Every structure is written in structure tokens, then in C-alpha cells.
Structure 1
Amino acid sequence: MHLTHRPVQSGDIPVICCFPQGPDELFYMFPKATYPLTPLQLSDAIAQRSASTVVEGQGLVLGFANFYKAEHGGVCALGNLVVAPAARGHGVARYLVQCMINLAREQFAARELWVSCFNHNTAGLLLYPQLGFVPFGVEERQTWDGTRVALVQMKQVLG
């Protein structure tokens, strides 16, 4: 599948809101949001973040991510990453993370890109190290229903 990327547009927001398939998936993507994800919740997050980007394939929006932290010459932190359910396992997340690495380098001259991944998010925990991210910390957090989880923090030094 041929993938492209571009900045998010307002018409993409209702589509992206359908990607999280339950409270757990929404928690991985956007811990502060309440399920189901609404256009207002996502629009507010986009307004407070940088480089909100979508991946397209075959004319469809297939993935979304942004930076919740973007320090010029410093650290960018990847957030809100989500892939359309039908597109999972087809390289969309890998392509999207590579795009975000390039944006961190080119738009922000970032020295490091950080990503945080919850311990239940097996796909993310397996993907990020393949793309050069190295764990550097673990924090305890609580899910939407109060369950204890580990947030694994990883980073990639951008050359």
C-alpha cells in the first residue's frame, strides 16, 4: 500500500475519533480523553500540540500522531498516535513514526524524540525499539478505571 502524510485537516477529525476501539485503546492514544473520543476532545488536543499529522493510503486517513512537547533544538515528544483498525499490521504506524522522526529533525531541529508506551500496548512496545527507541524510564500510572499500569518511556537520539 502506498502511504503519504500531510498536516491534519478539520475534516479528518471525525474519522480519527472512530479509530480507538474502546476505552483501553483510547487510553493508549490519549490518556486524558474520555471514551468515546469526540471531535471536541481531539480538536482541543490538536490546538495545544504541534505537527499534528495524518497518514493516508488509498484516499483514506489511516493514522494520526502529533507532538505534545516540541522544543526547538531540544526534545520532541510523540503523542496521540493511533492507526485505523482496518490498517493495523500493514506498516502504517512504522511509516507514521518515521514521518514524525523526520518532522522532529526538520521542523524543530530536535536532539531527541521521546515516546511513552503503556505496558499493555504490546504493538507499541515491539515497534518502537525496532525503530531505534531505547527505554529510559518507567512511571506508574492509572488507567481510566483505576488499574495500575506501567508507562515505559523511550527515546531516540536524533543525529
Structure 2
Amino acid sequence: MQLSHRPVQAQDIPALCCLPQGPDELFYMFPKARYPLTPAQLSEAIAQRSGSTVVEGDGTVLAFANFYKAEVGGICALGNVVVAPAARGHGVARYLVQCMIDLARSQFEARELWVSCFNHNTAGLLLYPQLGFVPFAIEERQGPDSTRVALVQMKQVL
């Protein structure tokens, strides 16, 4: 499948809201959101963030991410990362994160790119180190069911 990426557009929002499959996946993607993800919740997040990007394959939106922090010449922090269920395990997340690394470098001249990953998100915990991210902190957070979860902070020097 040929992948491409572009800035998010308003007509992408309904499809993006369908990507997280259940409350746990939405929590990994967007901890402050309530399941199911609504266009209003996602649109508000996009409006407050930078670099909102979609990945397409064969004309279908397959993945999404943005920066919740974007300091020119400083730190960009990756957020709202999600991949369509049918596209998982096919290199789409790898492509998306590489696009975001490139965007952090080119648009923001960032020195570091940070990403946070919850301990139950095995796919993310395995992917990010393969792409050059190194863990530097672990924070305790509260999961959707009020259980204790660990948020693993990772960074990559650009």
C-alpha cells in the first residue's frame, strides 16, 4: 500500500473519531477525551495543537497525530497518535511517527521530540524505541477506570 501524509482537514474528523476502538484505545490516544470520541472533542484538540497530520493509503485515512507542545527551536511533544485497526502491523505508525519527526525538524526546528506512552500500550512501547526514542521518566497517572497506570516519557534528540 502506498502511504502519503497531509495536514488534517475538517472532512477527516468523522473518520478519525472512529479510529480508537474502545475506551482504552481512546485513553492511549487522548486521555482527556470521553468515549466515544466526538467530532467536537477532536476538533477542539486540533484547534489547540500544532502539526495535525493524517496518513492516507489508497484514499483512506489510516492514522493521525499532532503536537500538543511545539516550541520553535525547542521541544515538540507528540500526541493524539492513533492508527486505524485494519492498518495496524503494516508500518503505518512507523511512517506516521517518521513524518512527525520530519515535521518537528522542518517546521519547528525542534531540538527534541517527546512522546508519552501508557504502560498498557504494548505496541507503542515497542515501536518508539525502534524509532530512536529513549525513556527518560515514568509518571503515575489515573486510568479510565481509576486504576494506577504508568506513563512512560520518551524523547529523541533531533
Query: What TM bracket, shorter-length normalisation?
Result: over 0.9
Once the two structures are superposed, the pairs formed by residues 90-101 of structure 1 within 5 Å of their partners are: 90-101=90-101
Using the aligned pairs only, state the percent identity. 84
Equivalent pairs, count: 158
Q: Specify the alignment match of 2:105 in structure 1.
A: 105
Q: Specify the alignment match of 2:144 in structure 1.
A: 144
Q: Deviations over 1:103-148 (max 9, x none)?
A: 0000000000000000000000000000000000000000111010
Query: 2: distance between equivalents of 1:57 and 1:20?
Result: 18
Q: Is residue 2:127 matched to residue 1:127?
A: yes
Q: Look up the equivalent residue of 1:52 and give its one-letter code.
A: S
Q: Specify the alignment match of 1:13 in structure 2.
A: 13
The alignment partner of 2:54 has SS state of strand
Q: Look up the equivalent residue of 2:73 and give its one-letter code.
A: G
Q: Specify the alignment match of 2:46 in structure 1.
A: 46
Q: Is residue 2:55 matched to residue 1:55?
A: yes
Q: Deviations over 1:65-119 (max 9, x none)?
A: 0000000000000000000111111100000000000000000000000000000
Query: 1: distance between equivalents of 2:45 and 2:143?
Result: 19
Q: Specify the alignment match of 1:37 in structure 2.
A: 37
Instruction: In structure 1, list runs of 5 or more residues that go unmatched.
Output: none
Query: 2: distance between equivalents of 1:59 and 1:74?
Result: 34
The alignment partner of 1:128 has SS state of helix
4+ runs of 1 displaced by more than 6 Å? none
Q: Is residue 2:150 matched to residue 1:154?
A: no
Query: 2: distance between equivalents of 1:90 and 1:12?
Result: 21
CA-atom RMSD in angstroms: 0.3
Q: Is residue 2:71 matched to residue 1:71?
A: yes
The alignment partner of 1:37 has SS state of coil
The alignment partner of 2:32 has SS state of coil
Residue 48 of structure 1, CA deviation: 0.1
Q: Specify the alignment match of 2:84 in structure 1.
A: 84
> Normalising by structure 2, what TM-score?
1.00
The alignment partner of 1:32 has SS state of coil
